[in-house]
Amino acid sequence: MKNNLRLLALASAASIATGAIAIPPPPPPSAAELAQQGDDIAWAITEDLTTEIGPRLAGTEAESAARRWAVARLQAMGFANVREEQFDMPVWVRGEEAASLTGPFLPQKLAIAALGNSASTGPKGVEGDIAYFASYDALLAAPDSQVKGKIVFIDHQMQRAQDGSGYGQFGRGRFQGANAASKKGAIAVVIRSIGTDNHRTPHTGGTNFEKGVTPIPAGALSNPDADQLVRQWKRTLSMRTNETALGYTPEPLRMKLVLTPQNLGMKHSGNVIAEVPGSDPAASPVIIACHLDSWDLGTGAIDDAAGCGIITAAAKHVMSAGQPRRTIRILWAGAEEVGVFGGKAYFEKHGTEKHAVALESDFGADRVWRVDFKLPASAKVLEDRIAAELSAFGIVRGKTPAGGGADIGALVAAGVPAIDLQQDGTRYFDLHHTPDDTLDKVDPVQLRQNVVAWTATLAILANSSDAELP
Amino acid sequence: MKNNLRLLALASAASIATGAIAIPPPPPPSAAELAQQGDDIAWAITEDLTTEIGPRLAGTEAESAARRWAVARLQAMGFANVREEQFDMPVWVRGEEAASLTGPFLPQKLAIAALGNSASTGPKGVEGDIAYFASYDALLAAPDSQVKGKIVFIDHQMQRAQDGSGYGQFGRGRFQGANAASKKGAIAVVIRSIGTDNHRTPHTGGTNFEKGVTPIPAGALSNPDADQLVRQWKRTLSMRTNETALGYTPEPLRMKLVLTPQNLGMKHSGNVIAEVPGSDPAASPVIIACHLDSWDLGTGAIDDAAGCGIITAAAKHVMSAGQPRRTIRILWAGAEEVGVFGGKAYFEKHGTEKHAVALESDFGADRVWRVDFKLPASAKVLEDRIAAELSAFGIVRGKTPAGGGADIGALVAAGVPAIDLQQDGTRYFDLHHTPDDTLDKVDPVQLRQNVVAWTATLAILANSSDAELP
């Protein structure tokens, strides 16, 4: 569409030229055109950050190195007001991790990853009978006697979905399962990974204990390991019922677990902020966010180096096309994975400032397939314009209001308008929080489509009027 | 085709019945028909072995338990002469394994697996500069000075192929790379996994040192980790050339490696053998083989529990359809992965006995797509018949002579005829020798197609005449 208009303008200029009138130069390329001319900014940020820094767990030296890297990179790209805004947060680090099924069959090792905030088993580990629960709800419904002194296993049936909606529903076993198991007297909890792949790569992620609840060791098994546990569980049950002549003692299913994570106390983390200064200093800024930290098992390519690549490439293209009216503020948040500490710190420092609209990219690197809005009524025409523009890239207009994202969550909750450029999450939970979150999983073609969609949207937002977005 | 003939027979019987002539009973189902009626034997063997025993590294207690399991299972299925034939072999077991890139960038952990026969680094590990080689041939061509005192990394470009033909070509880096690196003075060798996946699951497998060559520590990185090493290697080279202002000291790429495998000396392993006795004791037997041992990282579902499931299901169907003329001998070989010790032991004990023809299933559980023959001229009609029968299942007739397989390799080399029911290997090297070789990777539909093809072939072979297969 844009390209056609541009050709029309050129043709028109040419036809005027035949009338021997001075030829006006063709209009400079728009931001969206710049993005479409072939963007490698997002890829370069994603590749460089994941290669030169790698995993960057919140509060560690790696995250700190990533901030230094980020400041240097954003300055080199020509952004203004590049700065680090420090905050403190509690740091948890992974230790040794090993699990095995120890009976009634021959011992078999399982692939396991400790969940964030897991307690330590101590170096000698713990061993206990498995208490199987088909779901988090089944655990909640169980009497304490079924759990006390045992290692709880929480199963589930998460399936892949384009919008990632299974995460909230099935993720509860990770978010709250250890807390519930501890309250019922479990010695540890092991969950089936909140993931949709079938590789021996467990999915980590945070688990949370309420105040007053004793943290217990908590880990996630990869899906094939959870399958194996379930098969042995079923056989053990059937052996105990039938006392078959298999030659095995019909004992309960047992597990040995060694997890030695540590809490290191409060440490520095920080947000990295950069800006494209607007021509109207009185206009409220557009804020765009990603997160710089990652889990420690992979290099955090899709979660969320690519997100930082996408939003930064879009801001760069808008800047290259000419100064926008509004300031664009780029937030590379710190310590998102372990509790959205960066987003909270940003809100504490800047929450009372006016923000025109907030957007976040934190759902991988696959194509944007839908756009959701949560804009004031005054932005109706603006919203239609963005939806029409995105339609050219195959993006459908959603019917649900935009939710924002973790790091802009507090802003959106406080009333800042939001737009979600929803990414295709069909394969996101194959990789999410696993060792497999590495650069090779990023598809450069889909990454570029993200940049094009973001640039088109951002160019409109950054040049919107105060009447549209007050 | 078979089913149509059967229906025809039934219809014909019915039409004769209207003429009030006594109705002959329909013919009993053939072995191939039994297999097509829905086979779950192969799946059950694969599931039970991988669940109840799991990984079964040659010479370990797990492999020994697998033999006991196998004898019980084959007896329970009604096979005759079920027995274990023991032999001794040298046992190597995995220890601790860890690798990281330690400079010039921040330390980053890599997913690594020791190769079979790797020496130990000792618990403190070794650290050294990386000497990069794009291929095994590049290592061979390098002067010792490029290698001495360094950790050699061997890269390659293996691509997936339906016939698995990349394994031989690219696998040399694994089979012989450590030997070549040791001779040139390397302190250790690390290879890109001989695999076609992009998961953080390294591919183990044996490496071999010539007599007189000092074994050195040898491991395989997963493909994403090898990618990361290569990216850092390229940046390090460019930094050393350009001395860019990245803030890093332009040092060579370094790796820390901890591998503590052990050689346990000679231990017992064994073959498990079972038979379907033929009606003609003078006729030479048909031998069908798989291997019972597996590498230790996964549960050996596709390599090679499924193979044992396939050949055993086929033998069972032939047996159920009526006693064949020739004896079918089922060989579940021990200690294949670590040096084909079971195949060699079988040949030492039985190599002088006459065998009509040998077949092996050891290339996963995906569908048979091609059949290759290496039969005497006397078997031309037999060969045509098998090819025609298999054509009904979508199997093409190959133009290359059958090669046999590892465990029947010595027999075939000694002149025993062979048939290869070639399995689709397109995804085989995604899983081969990795932690990901687990039951979920077996497709029950394709597994069943294997059994149907094997049963049809085996029924013809087991009832062939001495004129066809002397």
CA nearest A60 in B: which residue? B106
Quick one: which H or E segment has residue B384? helix B380-391
For A374, list phi and psi in degrees, rounded to 5.
Answer: -145, 80
Of the candidates A105, A111, A227, the beta carbon closest to that of B435 is on: A111
Rounded to a whole number, what is the distance in Å from the CA of B436 to chain A's nearest CA? 6
**Which residues of B fall within a CB distance of 8 Å from A438?**
198, 200, 224, 227-228
Of the candidates A47, A227, A434, the beta carbon closest to that of B440 is on: A227
Q: What is the pLDDT of residue B12?
A: 47
Question: What's the token pair of residue A459?
Answer: 């160019």
Cα B40 from Cα B45, distance rounded (Å): 9
What is the percent of chain A with per-residue pLDDT over 70, rounded to a whole number?
Answer: 93
A233–chain B Cβ distance below 8 A for any pair: no
pLDDT digits (tens, 9 = 90+) for B203-256: 999 999 999 999 999 999 999 999 999 999 999 987 665 555 555 556 899 999
A302 contacts A100 by C-beta, under 8 angstroms? no
Per-residue model confidence as pLDDT tens for chain B (470 residues): 344 444 444 444 444 445 556 788 888 889 988 888 877 999 999 999 999 999 999 999 999 999 999 999 999 999 999 999 999 999 999 999 999 999 999 999 999 999 999 999 999 999 999 999 999 999 999 999 999 999 999 999 999 999 999 999 999 999 999 999 999 999 999 999 999 999 999 999 999 999 999 999 999 999 999 999 999 999 998 766 555 555 555 689 999 999 999 999 999 999 999 999 999 999 999 999 999 999 999 999 999 999 999 999 999 999 999 999 999 999 999 999 999 999 999 999 999 999 999 999 999 999 999 999 999 999 999 999 999 999 999 999 999 999 999 999 999 999 999 999 999 999 999 999 999 999 999 999 999 999 999 999 999 999 999 999 99
Average of per-residue pLDDT across A10-32:
66
A231–chain B Cβ distance below 8 A for any pair: yes
Assign A436 a pLDDT band (cuts: 50, 70, 90).
very high
ipTM over 0.90: yes
B430–chain A Cβ distance below 8 A for any pair: no
Closest CA to B110 of B49, B192, B15: B192
B192–chain A Cβ distance below 8 A for any pair: no
- SS3 of B89-134: EEEEECCCEEEEEEECCCCEEECEEECECCCCCCCCCEEEEEEEEC
Q: What is the pLDDT of residue A243?
A: 53
Question: What's the token pair of residue B305?
Answer: 């529990």
Looking at the predicted structure, is the pLDDT value of residue A247 above 60? no
Average of per-residue pLDDT across A430-451:
98
Question: What's the token pair of residue B338?
Answer: 């670590």
**Weakest-pLDDT range from A283-287, A358-362, B10-14, B312-316:** B10-14
| Per-position b or e across A198-232, b if 16+ CB within 10 A of its CB | bbbbbbbbbbebeeeeebbbbbbbbbbbbbbbbbb
**Which residues of A fall within a CB distance of 8 Å from B298?**
200
Question: What's the token pair of residue A410?
Answer: 């507090």
**Which residues of B fall within a CB distance of 8 Å from A108?**
54-55, 299
A228–chain B Cβ distance below 8 A for any pair: yes
- SS3 of A278-316: CCCCCCCCEEEEEECCCCCCCCCHHHHHHHHHHHHHHHH
pLDDT digits (tens, 9 = 90+) for A340-349: 999 999 999 9
**Which residues of A fall within a CB distance of 8 Å from B430?**
none
Closest CA to A368 of A309, A310, A293: A310
B268–chain A Cβ distance below 8 A for any pair: no
Question: What's the token pair of residue A95?
Answer: 């230790």
**Which residues of B fall within a CB distance of 8 Å from A436?**
198-200, 224
Q: Give, as one character, the DSSP assignment of residue A441.
A: G
B387–chain A Cβ distance below 8 A for any pair: no
Place of tokens 């808008």: A318
A200–chain B Cβ distance below 8 A for any pair: yes
**Which residues of A fall within a CB distance of 8 Å from B52?**
105-106, 232, 235, 246
**Which residues of A fall within a CB distance of 8 Å from B198?**
436, 438, 440-441
Rounded to a whole number, what is the distance in Å from the CA of A68 to chain B's nearest CA? 10
CA nearest B62 in A: which residue? A106
- The distance of Cα B98 from the centroid of its chain, to the nearest Å, equals 26
Closest CA to A300 of A362, A367, A346, A342: A362
Average of per-residue pLDDT across A385-404:
97
Q: What's the pTM?
A: 0.93
CA nearest B103 in A: which residue? A52
**Which residues of A fall within a CB distance of 8 Å from B248?**
52
B56–chain A Cβ distance below 8 A for any pair: no
> B256: which residues sit within 8 A by CB, 6+ positions away?
B98, B99, B100, B102, B107, B125, B126, B127
Cα A223 from Cα B44, distance rounded (Å): 20
Partner-chain contact A223 B299, CB within 8 Å? no
Q: Torsion angle of alpha carbons B119, B125, B129, B132, nearest 10°?
A: 40
| Per-position b or e across A348-372, b if 16+ CB within 10 A of its CB | eebeeeebbbbbbbbbbbbbbbbbb
